[in-house]
Structures are given as C-alpha cells and as structure tokens.
Amino acid sequence: MSCCLPGASDGSHVVAASPVVGGGSRRDALSLPGGEFLMGDDGPLSYPEDGEGPVRRESVDGFAIDRYAVTVADFTGFVDATGYLTDAERLGRSFVFAGLLPQDFPPTRGVEAAPWWREVLGATWRAPEGPGSSAADRRDHPVVHVSWNDAHAFASWCGGRLPSEAEWEYAARAGASSTFPWGEELEPGGRHMANVWQGTFPDANSCDDGYYATCPVTAFEPNGFGLYNLIGNVWEWTASPFTAQVTHGFELALKGGSYLCHASYCHRYRPAARSGAAADSSTGNVGFRCAY
C-alpha cells in the first residue's frame, strides 16, 4: 500500500459482474497501434516492494484510450442519465487530504501511516471536501472519490472499459524508456510537466506549478502520443490486479501518482510506478480514464 493512498474499504468485493451498460457515447480517445515496450523500473527511484521490477519486455495489441481523465462534467452526465450511486455515497464517507480541510474541521479518523489523510463523512465526487464543498466549479477537473467499481460502471456505460496496467503504462511512456515520459528530469529546464507537490510535504505547497490540488485535465503538455496528465494530478484505476510484497486482500492496480506526490517521501509520479487499493475504496486523489 502506497503512502499516497489510505486504502479505505469496507471489505466489499468487486461488483464488476453487474455494470451499468448503454446510453453513453465514446469519449475523446486516441487510437494507439500497440507493440512492444519495456515495462517496469528497477532504478534508484523505484519501489521493489510495489512490484515495479524487474524491467521486462511486454507487448500490447492496438487499442484506444481517452486523451484525458474522466471529468466532473463527464461523470455528472453519467449520473444524470443513470441515477448511479457511487460507493462513497453508499458508504457515506471517503478520505480527504487534510490540507484541503478548514483548520477548525472536527477531529475524524485518520491513517496511522499517512496522517495527512482524514476520513470525512459526506465526502463524495459532488462534495470533494465534504458537506459545504462543491465540485461545480471544477467541471474540467478529474472526478475524484470514485472507486474501481464506479470507474468500471462509467466505462461500461460509455462503451469502453478500464485499461490494463500494461496498456496504461504503454500509453504513458509514449515510446520512451526514460524515468519520465519526457526524459530523466522531473522539471527539465525548470519547466513544470505535471501536477505534483512542491515545497515541504505535507505542510507547505508553494504551488509553483499553479495548483494546490487537482488541475484541469488538459493542463500541462501532452505526452508524445498526445495524452494528458498520465503523470501526477490523480492516480488512475486500471483493470489489472495489484500484486506486490504487501497487499491488504484483493486490490486493483493504480498508476501515475497524484498531486500529493513529492520527492521527499514518494517518487511514484513515474509511468512504472504503481499502487493498489480495494475495489470499493475512494479518495480525493484517485480518478480514471477509459480504454476501448
């Protein structure tokens, strides 16, 4: 389990056998030709306990993938059309980064290994920081507080699916075998290429890249394939199981890191990086995109 994610779950199993199907249309996606690539990482920034290595040659068939993550506006359309209820809404809670909560927020359950996470009653995709907050002014940001089950339901509705971990990493690398899709430096020439934490985590974010939390899904330069924000901003669900040295029951693999990743404690803002979470878990830094 990554320090980036609290791993909240009520122990429910995957509910993929009963997806919401029909009504949605295919989103703004790019068709990729498929092929072989080097997957994984065993370099100095890698996390062996996450199962990143060894580096191995993988191949994927041609597929299409969304140019950017599913937005609040996209998810609103899905819910309006289907009446879908997310796991966070059903459970009545989700996990929020403490830095987004007011200083007088009442004490709630935290996470021992990652005290910057707080359980917030009523936190959902509509109210990302709990009651009184609203995602209405973030319609072009990635939807968050969505579980794997929720992402699967949306993908089925729009005629797609979640990408496999290999497909996701192939898309993120865009033909590169470097640490980052754009090279070996996180900020080449001082240029910000992704939405990650700057400053001193978790107390001070200088926002040098322009954002404290999530950013619009088309912010920053696209990668070599023309895909946006596969690194940073929000972790993204995949269809693949998460296998690593330590897991907490059956988990699904997430990729890409988030706005909370910072070199002082987490280098998981790389194509090879991975984490895992239960299918019904949700947090304020996890979203998804669809494949076809």
Please spell the DSSP secondary structure of 204-241, one letter per residue: EE--TTS-SS---TT-S---TTS---SSBSSEEEEEEE
- Decide if pLDDT at 72 tops 90: yes
pLDDT at residue 3, rounded to an integer:
54
**Model pTM?**
0.92
3-state secondary structure at position 56: strand
Average pLDDT over residues 144-148: 98
Average pLDDT over residues 1-21: 49
> In whole angstroms, what is the distance from residue 222 CA to residue 259 CA?
17
Q: How many residues does the chain have?
A: 292
> In whole angstroms, what is the distance from residue 195 CA to residue 68 CA?
14
What is the share, in percent, of the chain residues with pLDDT greater than 70?
A: 91
pLDDT at residue 26, rounded to an integer:
60
pLDDT at residue 107, rounded to an integer:
76
Q: Which CATH number fits domain 31-102+109-287: 3.40.47.10, 3.90.1580.10, 3.40.50.300, 3.40.50.720?
A: 3.90.1580.10
* DSSP symbol at 68: S
CA 78 vs CA 3, 71, 103, 254: distances in Å = 31, 11, 34, 22
- Decide if pLDDT at 89 tops 60: yes
Contact 41, 52 (CB under 8 A): yes
Average pLDDT over residues 33-50: 91
3-state secondary structure at position 32: strand
Confidence band (pLDDT; 50, 70, 90) for 108?
confident
pLDDT at residue 8, rounded to an integer:
47
pLDDT at residue 95, rounded to an integer:
96
DSSP per position, 80-145: HHH----HHHHHTEEEEEGGGS-TTPPP--B-TT-TTEEEEET--SSSTTSTT--SGGGTTSBP-S
pLDDT at residue 202, rounded to an integer:
93
- Decide if pLDDT at 15 tops 50: no
Lowest pLDDT segment from 119-133, 212-226, 261-275: 261-275
